[in-house]
Structure 1
Amino acid sequence: MINNYSKPMLAFNRKYFFLTILIFIIEVLIALYLHDEIIRPYIGDVLVVILIYCFIKSFLKLPVLPLAIFVLLFSFSIEFLQYLNIVEKLGLQKSKLARTVIGTSFAWIDLVCYIAGIIIVLITEKVSAKN
Protein backbone atom coordinates (compact mmCIF):
# COMPACT_ATOMS: atom_id res chain seq x y z
CA MET A 1 0.00 0.00 0.00
CA ILE A 2 1.40 3.39 -1.03
CA ASN A 3 0.48 6.45 0.99
CA ASN A 4 0.75 10.15 0.08
CA TYR A 5 3.91 10.54 2.12
CA SER A 6 5.96 8.18 -0.06
CA LYS A 7 5.70 10.58 -3.02
CA PRO A 8 8.32 13.31 -3.46
CA MET A 9 7.29 16.32 -1.39
CA LEU A 10 9.33 18.95 -3.23
CA ALA A 11 7.51 20.02 -6.38
CA PHE A 12 7.01 23.44 -7.96
CA ASN A 13 3.37 24.23 -8.69
CA ARG A 14 2.78 27.20 -11.03
CA LYS A 15 -0.91 27.53 -10.14
CA TYR A 16 -0.24 27.99 -6.43
CA PHE A 17 2.78 30.20 -7.12
CA PHE A 18 0.65 32.48 -9.32
CA LEU A 19 -2.03 32.62 -6.60
CA THR A 20 0.66 33.44 -4.04
CA ILE A 21 1.88 36.39 -6.10
CA LEU A 22 -1.66 37.58 -6.80
CA ILE A 23 -2.76 37.42 -3.15
CA PHE A 24 0.50 39.02 -2.02
CA ILE A 25 -0.10 41.96 -4.38
CA ILE A 26 -3.67 42.29 -3.08
CA GLU A 27 -2.40 42.23 0.52
CA VAL A 28 0.20 44.94 -0.24
CA LEU A 29 -2.44 47.10 -1.93
CA ILE A 30 -4.76 46.66 1.04
CA ALA A 31 -1.97 47.58 3.47
CA LEU A 32 -0.88 50.64 1.48
CA TYR A 33 -4.16 52.10 0.28
CA LEU A 34 -7.07 50.88 2.38
CA HIS A 35 -7.63 52.30 5.82
CA ASP A 36 -11.23 51.23 6.26
CA GLU A 37 -12.98 49.32 9.02
CA ILE A 38 -13.74 46.08 7.15
CA ILE A 39 -11.38 45.11 4.33
CA ARG A 40 -8.04 45.97 5.91
CA PRO A 41 -8.61 44.47 9.36
CA TYR A 42 -10.75 41.47 8.42
CA ILE A 43 -10.41 40.54 4.75
CA GLY A 44 -6.64 41.03 5.02
CA ASP A 45 -6.55 38.45 7.81
CA VAL A 46 -8.72 36.03 5.83
CA LEU A 47 -6.39 36.41 2.85
CA VAL A 48 -3.16 36.00 4.81
CA VAL A 49 -3.83 32.35 5.68
CA ILE A 50 -4.76 31.67 2.06
CA LEU A 51 -1.50 33.37 1.04
CA ILE A 52 0.57 31.21 3.40
CA TYR A 53 -1.22 28.06 2.24
CA CYS A 54 -0.65 28.88 -1.45
CA PHE A 55 2.99 29.77 -0.81
CA ILE A 56 3.69 26.40 0.82
CA LYS A 57 1.74 24.53 -1.89
CA SER A 58 3.87 26.35 -4.49
CA PHE A 59 6.90 24.30 -3.44
CA LEU A 60 5.70 21.31 -1.44
CA LYS A 61 3.28 18.59 -2.45
CA LEU A 62 1.38 18.09 0.78
CA PRO A 63 -2.12 16.80 1.56
CA VAL A 64 -4.72 19.55 1.84
CA LEU A 65 -6.10 18.96 5.35
CA PRO A 66 -2.79 18.54 7.22
CA LEU A 67 -1.36 21.62 5.50
CA ALA A 68 -4.52 23.65 6.19
CA ILE A 69 -4.34 22.68 9.88
CA PHE A 70 -0.64 23.56 9.99
CA VAL A 71 -1.28 27.00 8.46
CA LEU A 72 -4.13 27.62 10.91
CA LEU A 73 -1.99 26.62 13.90
CA PHE A 74 0.90 28.74 12.60
CA SER A 75 -1.41 31.75 12.26
CA PHE A 76 -2.80 31.19 15.74
CA SER A 77 0.78 31.01 17.05
CA ILE A 78 1.66 34.36 15.50
CA GLU A 79 -1.49 35.88 17.00
CA PHE A 80 -0.56 34.46 20.41
CA LEU A 81 2.91 36.00 20.06
CA GLN A 82 1.18 39.33 19.45
CA TYR A 83 -0.67 38.80 22.73
CA LEU A 84 2.74 38.37 24.40
CA ASN A 85 4.03 41.59 22.75
CA ILE A 86 6.83 39.64 21.08
CA VAL A 87 7.86 42.54 18.82
CA GLU A 88 8.66 44.69 21.86
CA LYS A 89 10.30 41.81 23.75
CA LEU A 90 12.60 41.22 20.77
CA GLY A 91 13.42 44.93 20.63
CA LEU A 92 11.91 45.30 17.18
CA GLN A 93 9.29 47.95 17.98
CA LYS A 94 11.05 50.45 15.68
CA SER A 95 11.08 48.01 12.76
CA LYS A 96 8.12 48.71 10.49
CA LEU A 97 8.72 45.38 8.74
CA ALA A 98 8.62 43.39 12.00
CA ARG A 99 5.54 45.26 13.19
CA THR A 100 3.80 44.60 9.88
CA VAL A 101 4.77 40.94 9.42
CA ILE A 102 4.41 39.80 13.04
CA GLY A 103 1.83 42.36 14.13
CA THR A 104 1.55 44.22 17.38
CA SER A 105 -1.94 43.72 18.71
CA PHE A 106 -3.85 40.59 19.62
CA ALA A 107 -7.51 40.35 18.62
CA TRP A 108 -9.87 37.42 19.04
CA ILE A 109 -11.62 38.34 15.80
CA ASP A 110 -8.36 37.69 13.93
CA LEU A 111 -8.59 34.03 14.94
CA VAL A 112 -12.09 33.91 13.45
CA CYS A 113 -10.75 35.48 10.23
CA TYR A 114 -8.00 32.85 10.03
CA ILE A 115 -10.59 30.09 10.45
CA ALA A 116 -12.71 31.68 7.69
CA GLY A 117 -9.67 31.77 5.39
CA ILE A 118 -8.91 28.10 6.01
CA ILE A 119 -12.55 27.18 5.40
CA ILE A 120 -12.30 28.99 2.05
CA VAL A 121 -9.14 26.99 1.28
CA LEU A 122 -10.80 23.68 2.17
CA ILE A 123 -13.95 24.43 0.14
CA THR A 124 -11.91 25.64 -2.84
CA GLU A 125 -9.68 22.56 -2.74
CA LYS A 126 -12.69 20.24 -2.50
CA VAL A 127 -14.45 21.91 -5.44
CA SER A 128 -11.19 21.94 -7.42
CA ALA A 129 -10.64 18.23 -6.75
CA LYS A 130 -14.10 17.40 -8.13
CA ASN A 131 -13.32 19.26 -11.36
Structure 2
Amino acid sequence: MADGGLFFVSCQYRKKVTRLKERIRYAAAALAVMALGFCSREFAERLPAFFAEHAGDALWAAMVYFIVRTLFARKGLIWSGHVSVIFCFGIEFSQLYQAEWIAGIRSTRLGALVLGTGFVAIDLARYAAGIGLAMLADKWPSGRLQTRA
Protein backbone atom coordinates (compact mmCIF):
# COMPACT_ATOMS: atom_id res chain seq x y z
CA MET A 1 0.00 0.00 0.00
CA ALA A 2 2.76 2.42 0.91
CA ASP A 3 4.59 1.61 -2.32
CA GLY A 4 1.50 2.46 -4.38
CA GLY A 5 1.13 5.79 -2.58
CA LEU A 6 4.76 6.64 -3.20
CA PHE A 7 4.36 5.79 -6.87
CA PHE A 8 1.28 8.05 -7.05
CA VAL A 9 3.17 10.96 -5.46
CA SER A 10 6.10 10.36 -7.80
CA CYS A 11 3.80 10.42 -10.84
CA GLN A 12 2.07 13.58 -9.65
CA TYR A 13 5.44 15.28 -9.10
CA ARG A 14 6.63 14.22 -12.55
CA LYS A 15 3.46 15.62 -14.14
CA LYS A 16 3.95 18.97 -12.37
CA VAL A 17 7.59 19.17 -13.45
CA THR A 18 6.62 18.27 -17.03
CA ARG A 19 3.88 20.93 -17.00
CA LEU A 20 6.33 23.53 -15.66
CA LYS A 21 8.85 22.69 -18.38
CA GLU A 22 6.05 23.01 -20.94
CA ARG A 23 5.07 26.44 -19.61
CA ILE A 24 8.69 27.61 -19.68
CA ARG A 25 9.01 26.42 -23.27
CA TYR A 26 5.85 28.33 -24.29
CA ALA A 27 6.95 31.47 -22.43
CA ALA A 28 10.34 31.31 -24.17
CA ALA A 29 8.58 30.91 -27.52
CA ALA A 30 6.38 33.94 -26.76
CA LEU A 31 9.44 36.04 -25.91
CA ALA A 32 11.31 34.87 -29.02
CA VAL A 33 8.33 35.65 -31.25
CA MET A 34 7.92 39.03 -29.55
CA ALA A 35 11.57 39.84 -30.30
CA LEU A 36 11.09 38.79 -33.93
CA GLY A 37 7.99 41.00 -34.11
CA PHE A 38 9.88 44.02 -32.83
CA CYS A 39 12.68 43.31 -35.30
CA SER A 40 10.17 43.02 -38.15
CA ARG A 41 8.99 46.57 -37.37
CA GLU A 42 12.36 48.07 -36.52
CA PHE A 43 14.20 46.70 -39.56
CA ALA A 44 11.29 46.67 -42.02
CA GLU A 45 13.26 48.57 -44.67
CA ARG A 46 15.83 45.75 -44.75
CA LEU A 47 13.28 42.99 -45.20
CA PRO A 48 11.53 41.80 -48.37
CA ALA A 49 8.43 43.95 -48.95
CA PHE A 50 5.93 41.11 -48.42
CA PHE A 51 7.55 40.07 -45.16
CA ALA A 52 7.86 43.65 -43.90
CA GLU A 53 4.20 44.31 -44.64
CA HIS A 54 2.66 41.17 -43.12
CA ALA A 55 5.08 39.65 -40.59
CA GLY A 56 4.47 42.02 -37.68
CA ASP A 57 0.77 41.20 -37.35
CA ALA A 58 1.31 37.48 -37.91
CA LEU A 59 4.05 37.43 -35.27
CA TRP A 60 1.85 39.37 -32.84
CA ALA A 61 -0.86 36.72 -33.21
CA ALA A 62 1.70 33.91 -32.82
CA MET A 63 2.89 35.58 -29.62
CA VAL A 64 -0.71 35.69 -28.35
CA TYR A 65 -1.01 31.97 -29.10
CA PHE A 66 2.14 31.13 -27.12
CA ILE A 67 0.98 33.30 -24.21
CA VAL A 68 -2.34 31.43 -24.20
CA ARG A 69 -0.41 28.13 -24.20
CA THR A 70 1.73 29.41 -21.30
CA LEU A 71 -1.29 30.41 -19.22
CA PHE A 72 -3.44 27.38 -20.09
CA ALA A 73 -0.87 24.61 -20.52
CA ARG A 74 -3.39 21.87 -19.72
CA LYS A 75 -5.65 22.86 -22.57
CA GLY A 76 -5.17 21.39 -25.99
CA LEU A 77 -3.69 22.91 -29.10
CA ILE A 78 -7.06 23.37 -30.86
CA TRP A 79 -8.62 25.06 -27.81
CA SER A 80 -5.64 27.40 -27.56
CA GLY A 81 -5.90 28.22 -31.26
CA HIS A 82 -9.58 29.09 -30.93
CA VAL A 83 -9.00 31.30 -27.89
CA SER A 84 -6.12 33.06 -29.65
CA VAL A 85 -8.21 33.75 -32.77
CA ILE A 86 -11.09 35.06 -30.65
CA PHE A 87 -8.71 37.33 -28.71
CA CYS A 88 -6.91 38.67 -31.79
CA PHE A 89 -10.10 39.19 -33.77
CA GLY A 90 -11.69 40.85 -30.72
CA ILE A 91 -8.80 43.31 -30.47
CA GLU A 92 -9.04 44.05 -34.20
CA PHE A 93 -12.80 44.62 -34.12
CA SER A 94 -12.42 46.78 -31.00
CA GLN A 95 -10.46 49.19 -33.22
CA LEU A 96 -13.76 50.15 -34.83
CA TYR A 97 -14.57 51.85 -31.50
CA GLN A 98 -12.79 55.21 -31.51
CA ALA A 99 -13.92 56.99 -28.33
CA GLU A 100 -11.57 59.71 -27.12
CA TRP A 101 -10.42 57.82 -24.01
CA ILE A 102 -9.37 54.69 -25.90
CA ALA A 103 -7.85 56.73 -28.74
CA GLY A 104 -5.67 58.33 -26.06
CA ILE A 105 -4.48 54.89 -24.94
CA ARG A 106 -3.89 53.82 -28.53
CA SER A 107 -1.79 56.93 -29.15
CA THR A 108 0.89 55.59 -26.77
CA ARG A 109 3.49 53.11 -28.05
CA LEU A 110 2.35 50.34 -25.68
CA GLY A 111 -1.32 51.05 -26.40
CA ALA A 112 -0.71 50.86 -30.14
CA LEU A 113 1.23 47.59 -29.78
CA VAL A 114 -1.47 45.93 -27.68
CA LEU A 115 -4.68 47.49 -29.01
CA GLY A 116 -3.68 48.60 -32.50
CA THR A 117 -4.75 51.89 -34.00
CA GLY A 118 -7.44 51.27 -36.61
CA PHE A 119 -9.40 48.40 -38.10
CA VAL A 120 -7.75 46.81 -41.16
CA ALA A 121 -9.55 43.74 -42.53
CA ILE A 122 -6.37 42.12 -43.91
CA ASP A 123 -5.07 41.93 -40.34
CA LEU A 124 -7.61 39.16 -39.69
CA ALA A 125 -5.92 36.99 -42.33
CA ARG A 126 -2.50 37.86 -40.91
CA TYR A 127 -3.63 36.83 -37.43
CA ALA A 128 -5.06 33.55 -38.71
CA ALA A 129 -1.80 32.82 -40.55
CA GLY A 130 0.33 33.65 -37.51
CA ILE A 131 -1.75 31.48 -35.20
CA GLY A 132 -1.84 28.67 -37.74
CA LEU A 133 1.94 28.72 -38.12
CA ALA A 134 2.38 28.83 -34.35
CA MET A 135 0.08 25.82 -34.02
CA LEU A 136 2.12 23.95 -36.63
CA ALA A 137 5.31 24.81 -34.77
CA ASP A 138 3.66 23.64 -31.55
CA LYS A 139 2.49 20.39 -33.16
CA TRP A 140 5.79 19.65 -34.88
CA PRO A 141 7.86 18.41 -31.89
CA SER A 142 5.23 15.84 -30.85
CA GLY A 143 4.09 15.00 -34.36
CA ARG A 144 0.44 14.92 -33.37
CA LEU A 145 -2.41 17.35 -32.92
CA GLN A 146 -3.48 17.64 -29.26
CA THR A 147 -7.25 17.74 -29.21
CA ARG A 148 -7.97 17.57 -25.48
CA ALA A 149 -10.37 20.27 -24.33
For this structure pair, what is the TM-score category when the shorter chain's length is used for normalisation?
Answer: 0.7 to 0.9
Instruction: Give the partner amino acid of 2:67.
Output: F
Q: 1:59 to 1:81 in 2, by over 3 A?
A: closer
Contact 1:82 1:103 in 2 (8 A): yes
- Residue 116 (str. 1) matches residue 129 (str. 2): yes
TM-score of the superposition, structure 2-length normalised?
0.68
Matches within 5 A, 1:56-67: 56-61=68-73, 62-67=75-80
Hey, what does 2:90 align to over in structure 1?
Answer: 77
Structure 1 regions of 5+ residues with no counterpart? 1-6
Hey, what does 2:42 align to over in structure 1?
Answer: 32
Hey, what does 2:110 align to over in structure 1?
Answer: 97
Alpha-carbon distance in structure 2 between the residues aligned to 1:101 and 1:41: 18
Contact 1:68 1:118 in 2 (8 A): yes
Structure 2 regions of 5+ residues with no counterpart? 1-14, 145-149
RMSD (Å) for aligned C-alpha atoms: 2.5
| Larger gyration radius, structure 1 or structure 2 | 2
TM-score of the superposition, structure 1-length normalised?
0.76
How many residues are treated as equivalent by the alignment?
A: 122
Alpha-carbon distance in structure 2 between the residues aligned to 1:94 and 1:85: 11
Structure with greater helix percent = 2
